[in-house]
Amino acid sequence: MTHAILDYLKIHGDQLDSEIAASLHLSIAQVASDISRLSSSGDLICCKVTRYIDGKAVEGVSCRLSGSLPKAAPGPKIGAPRNVVR
């Protein structure tokens, strides 16, 4: 089921664990187990959140795919001293 969760997040982006469970027709316990496994392997980034939907507090685990950082751009960096020839 971990592949299904990864595919779902690729399409829909950041989602709560309850939204993933409802969309994939899985139990919250199964999704929590799979999310934990994917998070420990580094495929997902998860955090506990509280969202307010229609005035009600909804607590859950927000999940998104982990991404790679882009390489540093070539050239001088901001704040780096310049070599001035006099």
Domain boundaries of the chain, sorted by first residue: 2-65
Determine the Cα angle at 71 with ends 70 and 74, to 5°: 130
Helix (H) or strand (E) holding 3: helix 2-12
pLDDT recorded at residue 68: 54
pLDDT recorded at residue 14: 87
Instruction: For residue 31, count other CB atoms closer than 10 A to its CB.
Output: 24
Mean pLDDT of 59-81: 77
Tell me: the pLDDT tens digits for 1-33? 788 999 999 888 889 999 999 999 999 999 999
pLDDT recorded at residue 40: 92
pLDDT recorded at residue 72: 73
Question: Full-prediction pTM beyond 0.75?
Answer: no
Tell me: the pLDDT tens digits for 27-60? 999 999 999 999 999 899 999 999 898 999 989 9
pLDDT recorded at residue 28: 93
CATH, domain 2-65, list 1.10.10.10, 3.30.465.10, 1.20.120.1200, 3.30.300.30 = 1.10.10.10
